[in-house]
Amino acid sequence: TILPSPVEVARSLPELWFDRALTRNLVTSFGRVLAGFAVAVAVAFPLGLFMGAFTQVKAAFNPLTVFAAYLPIPTLVPLTLSLFGTGEAQKVIFLAIAFVIYLIPLFVAAVDSVDDIYLKTGYTLGATRSHTVRKVLLAISWPDIYQAMRLGFGVGWSYILLAEMVDIGKGLGGIIMVSQRRGPREHIYLALLVIVAIAFLTDRLWVWLGKKLFPYREARR
């Protein structure tokens, strides 16, 4: 009497696909996740690399990253709304901040995991500090950095509902919010299934690309 049956959910798919423009809303949500991820990587990647490579930079930014790690992500919604309104910029910035909070510790850990023997060898051969960062730390930690990016991209799909809970005209989150208030409830479950399916497919794409970029990792296993 409360929840729709699986048959009712399946029967509501044509209405969701045609009347509520499922494909267009999916593209909108995917674009927001992709834009937020791109902004986050542009910030988190150099900061995480320098934090892992230089103890002074790590000491300066580590308290801020520790504070951010304990920050409840939903509290960023009213903050970004007050700064950027309800437009597209608010959704992208909200996702970018969530991505940055997740990615920076992983990037730092990837650089920190490089064995000191490689650094000592580089310095012994006359490498400068910049050469050591680019040719040793970054080169060796690339697979772990890529893995961190793969995991981080999936996080965006768990926050897309928070990003689209206001100004709910577009996006999968908008479909879920409208369906919760006005119905049909079947569309809530369908939209959630679509989010899970897209997150899974994009993760498989990350895995496939990782095998192409770092085949030696697979051979080592």
Give the mean model confidence (pLDDT) for residues 173-200.
83
Q: Can you give the pLDDT at residue 221?
A: 53
Q: What is the pLDDT of residue 165?
A: 76
Two tokens, residue 166: 């206001």
pLDDT of residue 169 exceeding 70: no
Rounded to whole angstroms, the Cα distance separating 138 from 134 reads: 5
Residue 140 contacts by C-beta under 8 Å, 6 or more apart in sequence?
Answer: 114, 118
Confidence of residue 174 (pLDDT cuts 50, 70, 90): confident
Distance (Å, whole) CA 71 – CA 173: 22
- For residues 169 and 117, the model is more confident at 117
pLDDT top residue among 114 and 146: 146
Using the predicted structure, report yes or no on whether residue 40 has a pLDDT greater than 90.
yes
In the structure, how many helices (H) and strands (E) does the chain have? 12, 0
Please answer whether residues 95 and 160 qualify as being in contact, where contact means their C-beta atoms are separated by less than 8 angstroms: yes
Average pLDDT score over residue span 162-171: 74
Confidence of residue 52 (pLDDT cuts 50, 70, 90): confident
The length of the chain in residues reads 221
Structure confidence at residue 220 (pLDDT): 55
The proportion of the chain whose per-residue pLDDT surpasses 70, expressed as a percent, equals: 96
| pTM tops 0.95, yes or no | no
Q: What pLDDT score was predicted for residue 43?
A: 92
Instruction: Read off the amino acid at residue 99.
Output: F
